[in-house]
Copies of this chain bind each other. A is one copy, B any other.
Amino acid sequence: MTVGELGEFALIRVLRDLLPPGGPDVLVGIGDDVAVLDGGGGEDGRVWLATCDVQVEGVHFLRDAIHPRDLGRKALAVNLSDVASAGGTPRFALVSLGLPKDLDVAYVTGIYEGLREEAGRFGVEVVGGNLSGVRQGLFLDLFLLGEAPRREVVLRSGARPGDRILVTGTLGDAAAGVALLVGLDGKRPVHDGQGGSGAPPVPAEYALRAARRRDRPEPRVREGQVIGASRLATAMIDVSDGLAGDLGHLVRSSGVVARIEAARLPVAPENRQLARALTGDEWHFALHGGEDYELLFTCPPQAAGVLAERVRQATGTLVSDIGEVLEAGSPGGLLLPDGTLADLGGGGWDHFTGPRTG
């Protein structure tokens, strides 16, 4: 069987099961956004948060379609988002570069200018790394170490029945930006001049916003810290693979199910319009698009308003209350405006096949 046939998440489970269980200093190992490592000091001490994520040419980016500075920023941002999702403070980064020999040095310095800028914004220090040649396909692998007071770390596994489900910012814009750049199949622009895409004209202002969300993701570091420090949140994850997929990880880890109300999803009208035109499903980008890098979190119902307001006041970022955590076995899924409940696959979210509404 090949890696492509098995799929990413099944492969992660296979590999995790090959390894021995973590020792006492590994508070959280493989399977969360970050590893949580005991930094000493007991229950009142601090923990280290460790994560890594890579940008691969031809898979995560096209060399001619992204400015190297944006690439550098993004490579760090996606890791910052993982530390943010635990409520942590990012501290130290290592950069592992795989570079073709014929790459222009200016491209590499451009990447580093982006790294420097993003690192500076969040107080991160780039403390080392590695340079390697590659035959083909530049890659930029980032390792990020963060820290947090042990009591403030928020994992994906703590959601409880009755909790509200909240999300920062808006959903689906980055995926719309990708679709506008290379189409849904990753091969051509939607507006390629050859017609037939079925896409409506997209307002220029929204197209720009979507491109910005695609190329310059904004990690919700300060939002994550406010959520962690509040000690009100029960679970948190960053939305990098689409709300449906990442909410699926959260509810599976927590042993619960979720019911989301479509009408409460923070999705731009232009985004819904483009999604409907391209896929027939107005929620497609919001639920299945990737790279939002918003924070999805849960908290007891009486804390939801307070917490949302605290994040807004501290960071200016809007927080939407989008649904409820239910006991395992309850009917979860996406509650559509007409009152129907779109499917939620057994054990987690798969995809939504319910009837479409206007």
Contact = CB atoms under 8 A, between A and B. Distances in A.
Interface of A: 1-4, 6, 8, 11-12, 14-15, 18-20, 22-23, 25-26, 29-30, 32, 34-35, 37, 39-40, 48, 50-54, 56-60, 91-92, 94, 96, 98-105, 108-109, 112-113, 115-116, 119-120, 125-137, 139, 141, 143, 145
Contact of A11 (B15, B105, B143): B105
A2 B104 contact: yes
A91 B133 CA distance: 28
22 contacts: A1-B105, A2-B102, A3-B100, A12-B131, A14-B105, A14-B109, A19-B119, A20-B116, A20-B120, A29-B127, A37-B91, A39-B39, A50-B145, A52-B96, A52-B130, A52-B143, A53-B130, A56-B132, A59-B133, A134-B137, A137-B137, A143-B143
Given A2-B103, A104-B1, A136-B136, A127 B37 contact: yes
A4 B102 contact: yes
A113 B159 CA distance: 34
Number of copies: 2
In this complex, which of A102, A130, A133 has the most chain B Cβ atoms within 10 angstroms of its Cβ?
A: A130
Contact of A109 (B15, B20, B25, B120): B15
A92 B52 CA distance: 13
A42 to B, nearest CB: 13
Given A105-B14, A112-B18, A98 B128 contact: no
A109 B18 contact: yes
Nearest to A18: B112
